[in-house]
Chains A and B, each alone.
Chain A
Amino acid sequence: MSEYELILAAGRTEKNYWRDLWRYRELFQVLAWRDISVRYKQTVIGAAWALIRPFLTMLVFTVIFGKVAKLPSDGNTPYALLVLAGMLPWQFFSTALSDASNSLVANSNLISKVYFPRLIVPIATVVVAFVDFVISFVILLGLMVWYRFVPDWHILFLPLFVGLAFLSSVGPGLWITTLNVRYRDFRYIIPFIVQFGLYVSPVGFSSQMIPDKYRLLYGLNPMVGVIDGFRWCILRGESPLHPGSFIASVVVTAAFLWLGIHQFRKMEKSFADLL
């Protein structure tokens, strides 16, 4: 019984917070499972959507940037592979960001009725986006077979950059979902950020296209570090990492993560009153 002893007072939730987060891990699994199983209900092709979207976008980008604009690839890699190595983390980032940003409002009925550490809700949606991301790796495999492209030891570092992609979407996602609770304006900003970011980030082209003196500045976009890292791993290191730019991306990601968690925790207590 003593396990469940609890004192409620102003500012008191702080102390139990991280312990509670662990205690509610089953709810976290269930919420993620709910979103995954609902995601493609009443669709004819179901999870194939997770393949079609990145595949078609990759085709278009390859034609426009590779064939029409004739931008150079990194080393000898096929242009389609270059695009896909950037497209996969980008799709993950954009889905995770937009789903996480809407998560609190979408689950308002839960939040105003039941207690649980609210951090569960946006993180669970990122996990759902992650499942789509894993499925879409099938395209990468297919493309590698098509081009008879065998990755080398660089690929072993991929999980590291998947983790970075995860963190880079969690930080801004937490911050925006917090703001979205009070100011629904942010619902309209998200599609804009996603659309805009697709062209600002090196998805359809290589970061090598950016003049060297601007690479550091370019790295302030956290997705630059993630995409460069993905290319480095997948393309046998033929697209070298720019250290300055990469470090800038990691620092910005860390800053956003801190800001997101900080703001989220600060506003969390009032979510139920605001929704």
Chain B
Amino acid sequence: MVPELMTRSPVISIENVGKRYLVGHKTGSVRRYTALRDTIALKARQLLRNSVDILSGRALQSGDQVEEFWALRDVSFTVNEGEVVGIIGRNGAGKSTLLKILSRITEPTCGQVYLRGRIASLLEVGTGFHPELTGRENIFLNGAILGMKRVEIRQRFDEIVEFAGVEKFLDTPVKRYSSGMYVRLAFSVAAHLQSEILIVDEVLAVGDFQFQEKCLGAMKGVAQSGRTVLFVSHNMNAVSQLCTRCEVLSEGRVEYSGDPGSAIARFLNSRSTNSLIQISEKQNENAKERFLIRELELLDGDNVPASTFIMGQPLKARIRIQCLKWTARTEVGVKVSSFTGVSLHYLASSWEGMSFDLEPGEHVFEVTMPRVCLFPGKYEIGVWVGISGQTSDAKAMELTRINVLLGNITGFPTAIDQYATSGCEVYMPSIWKRVH
């Protein structure tokens, strides 16, 4: 074949791929009352279905009604040799299912995928590491699991060890490794895979800042060496740095396909749909007799509903509350916490001198954060209401997530997004001068 033709031809072509899962539901809990007779009939039906399933070797479904759920539907796209394609989408958009199909862990329900070349997938770093085995043994074990031949591993052994920086501990069981060393070794094996197509899923979310930089560098190296890479990440920074093209998945379908810049913008905008959150009675924790939180709406500085905010720009929240009985000195609050559950900000009305006397009925409050002082990343928003100085009467936590993007908060060029990866989350203004 002519070399020019080789480089142009698709190495992956996905045609109308769909993946269906069956999900069991329980209808019983919805029923107002159950008679023993109904229950017996229901159980008998379940038993019959289960035994038929066991005999025919089919998977069992829990619950008494089975519903279809399409994790992927009509997904089609092609990837050419040497392309680095980012796959982005919200949790549950079907990214992992797509990768599982491509790496042959599960079969598509319909449609076809053509692959030209070996596929290696880094679905999770360190898959198959055995704690009792030494670093050296694990390199061979993990390499074989990822599809390397023993000869290939032996050839690249020194490179792998050097990249991971674990020369001294090669003959120590990996259970005695620090978590950092463990991850470094695992990534190193994976990064040295000899395959034409590499699938990378969130591997950059591990290790310290320095090592992440190293990984990103390694990924760039892989991409430049002409291998095809499928890259899944929530780290938009890495996606925009690495990828030549992006596919945006939403609810199992390809929503957008194009250059990374516009794909990322598209993806971030598609998240703003949950800027308005209706809050059910169930979500109101320890609600006593006074209040119910009904609705939360997030807006940007121009009063446009949003869930993505830019550092240094305003954030507004509108909170609709139902008051059940006359209450004096009411305090409304918004809580911002990190993804790991650490509380970062409390915005409490009473701290700003605002306590409200409320009569029964609905009330809407608005709070403005003049400048978002959070580092780029994702954060959880919660709401509470209660009497000032007392424990909250109703609270609804982790209602929605906001996404904060890098913005110019200081008026000077910053590399705050890089500091953000090392775990820092809140910006605090500071004044500097030279005294000596």
User: In the complex the two chains form, is A26's CB within 8 Å of B107's CB?
Assistant: no
Q: How far is the CB of A265 from the nearest CB of chain B, in Å?
A: 10
Report if A9 contacts B (CB, 8 A). Answer: yes
Residues of A within 8 A of B196 (CB): 1, 4
With A30-B140, A38-B130 known as contacts, the answer to whether A10 contacts B108 (CB < 8 A) is yes
Task: Spot the interface stretch: A81-89, A232-240, A242-250, A267-275.
Answer: A267-275
Cα(A12)–Cα(B115), bound, Å: 13
Q: Is the interface of B mostly helix, strand, loop or mixed?
A: loop
Report if B353 contacts A (CB, 8 A). Answer: no
Residues of B within 8 A of A115 (CB): 103-105
User: In the complex the two chains form, is B121's CB within 8 Å of A114's CB?
Assistant: yes
User: In the complex the two chains form, is B112's CB within 8 Å of A9's CB?
Assistant: yes
Residues of B within 8 A of A114 (CB): 103, 105, 121, 123, 127-128, 145-147
User: In the complex the two chains form, is A34's CB within 8 Å of B107's CB?
Assistant: no
Task: Spot the interface stretch: A105-113, A164-172, A190-198, A212-220.
Answer: A105-113
Report if A6 contacts B (CB, 8 A). Answer: yes
Report if A263 contacts B (CB, 8 A). Answer: yes
Q: How far is the CB of B53 from the nearest CB of chain A, in Å?
A: 9
Interface residues of A (CB under 8 A from B): 1, 4-13, 26-27, 30-31, 34, 37-38, 41-42, 109-116, 178-179, 182-183, 263, 266-267, 269-270, 272-274
User: In the complex the two chains form, is B128's CB within 8 Å of A273's CB?
Assistant: no
Residues of A within 8 A of B103 (CB): 114-115
Q: How far is the CB of B300 from the nearest CB of chain A, in Å?
A: 40
With A5-B115, A8-B101, A274-B59 known as contacts, the answer to whether A110 contacts B132 (CB < 8 A) is no
With A4-B118, A114-B103, A115-B104 known as contacts, the answer to whether A109 contacts B144 (CB < 8 A) is no
Cα(A270)–Cα(B146), bound, Å: 20
Report if B335 contacts A (CB, 8 A). Answer: no
Contact with A along B127-145 (1 / 0, CB 8 A): 1101011000100110011
Residues of B within 8 A of A179 (CB): 54
User: In the complex the two chains form, is B141's CB within 8 Å of A30's CB?
Assistant: yes
Cα(A269)–Cα(B54), bound, Å: 16
With A114-B105, A114-B123, A114-B127 known as contacts, the answer to whether A4 contacts B117 (CB < 8 A) is yes
Residue of B nearest to A269 (CB): B107
User: In the complex the two chains form, is B127's CB within 8 Å of A113's CB?
Assistant: yes
User: In the complex the two chains form, is A26's CB within 8 Å of B144's CB?
Assistant: yes
Q: How far is the CB of A2 from the nearest CB of chain B, in Å?
A: 8
Ordered by A's residue number, 30 sampled pairs between the chains whose C-beta atoms are within 8 Å are A1-B117, A4-B117, A5-B114, A5-B116, A6-B115, A7-B115, A8-B108, A8-B115, A9-B108, A10-B108, A11-B107, A12-B107, A26-B149, A27-B144, A34-B141, A37-B137, A38-B130, A38-B133, A109-B127, A111-B105, A113-B121, A114-B105, A114-B145, A115-B104, A182-B59, A183-B60, A267-B59, A272-B106, A273-B21, A273-B59
